A = this chain, B = another copy of it.
Amino acid sequence: MKSSTAPSPLRGTQPHCQTCSLNALCLPLSLNDNDMERLDDIIRRGRPIQKGQLLFQQGEPFQSVFAVRTGALKTYTLASNGEEQITGFHLASELVGLAGYNNDFYPLSAKALETTTVCEIPLTQLDELADELPDLRKQLMRTMGTEIRHDQNMMLLLSKKNAEERVASFLMDISTRYARRGFSATHFRLPMSRVDISNHLGLAVETISRVFTRFQKNGLIETQGKEIILQDIDTLNQLAGLVSDDDCGHSDSK
């Protein structure tokens, strides 16, 4: 049995899944103590990644999956003409890289939006463990299923929503994810730049800026640089036409 002899959160201290405050949200979710320890054994914790640094790059050999411990990442794909599309932002406890499963090479790149620490999970070992721990297998597939639903919601957003609806959807998405982590759902800091937001939402930067100011004039939000306060969640939700990520529109409709 491992003992955590160093309770101080100093750099160099190796944390473990068992004591990680995120284990109820992260991959260990639903694993029993024994299984969690086996997962913990294959995880590598490296030094922090600085803002702007790449965690992995499209085309590199696909070797590991990552879980964000602190900080935030963006993942993006490159079109052959060089244009990039940000496919997602990843906050603490979220898994990055599973999109590449079945590929010898990463099909996307991941870059740190701020100083970020991650747990690295080597693919070969994760793969072996997935065959031995049914709960882990299920959790991996659940994570992939969630990713698919998220991406399909993004397709809907990109193909059917106008600029205001996109921004509202985006804000509510981030809000929900912060709330799930125990942070305020109405007052938070956006870790990404306006350019990143515009890229992700398929809009021009200028449009993001204009919608933000319009929302502010209408009393929906309050912004101060990257700090943001959601003042009228109901209207934002309505604008977003949002269906929360988990109920997937299951309702009495029709």
Number of copies: 2
Nearest B-chain residue to A108, judged by Cβ: B152
The answer to whether B99 touches A241 (Cβ under 8 A) is no
A63 proximal to B (CB < 8 A): no
Measured between beta carbons, the chain B residues less than 8 angstroms from A79 are 156, 160, 241, 243
From B81, B146, B202, B246, contact of A158 by CB (8 A): B202
The answer to whether A99 touches B249 (Cβ under 8 A) is no
**A151-B155, A156-B77 given; A141·B102 CB < 8 A:** yes
A174 proximal to B (CB < 8 A): no
Measured between beta carbons, the chain B residues less than 8 angstroms from A158 are 155, 158-159, 202
**A80-B243, A137-B130, A253-B59 given; A85·B145 CB < 8 A:** no
The answer to whether B160 touches A99 (Cβ under 8 A) is no
Taken together as a complex, chains A and B put the C-alpha atoms of A127 and B246 apart, in Å, by: 20
The answer to whether B85 touches A156 (Cβ under 8 A) is yes
The answer to whether B250 touches A105 (Cβ under 8 A) is yes
Taken together as a complex, chains A and B put the C-alpha atoms of A81 and B98 apart, in Å, by: 31
Measured between beta carbons, the chain B residues less than 8 angstroms from A250 are 58-59, 104-105
Measured between beta carbons, the chain B residues less than 8 angstroms from A243 are 79-80
A80, A141, A155, most chain B CB atoms within 10 A? A155
Taken together as a complex, chains A and B put the C-alpha atoms of A95 and B231 apart, in Å, by: 43
Taken together as a complex, chains A and B put the C-alpha atoms of A213 and B99 apart, in Å, by: 37
Q: List 22 A-B contacts (CB under 8 A).
A: A77-B156, A80-B243, A85-B156, A87-B152, A99-B149, A99-B152, A100-B145, A101-B142, A102-B143, A102-B145, A103-B149, A104-B250, A105-B248, A105-B250, A108-B152, A130-B137, A141-B141, A141-B144, A144-B145, A144-B148, A148-B151, A160-B202
Measured between beta carbons, the chain B residues less than 8 angstroms from A138 are 127
From B98, B201, B246, contact of A148 by CB (8 A): B98
Taken together as a complex, chains A and B put the C-alpha atoms of A146 and B253 apart, in Å, by: 31
Top 3 closest A-B pairs, CB basis? A159-B202, A101-B145, A107-B248
Measured between beta carbons, the chain B residues less than 8 angstroms from A81 are 241
The answer to whether B107 touches A149 (Cβ under 8 A) is yes
A179 proximal to B (CB < 8 A): no
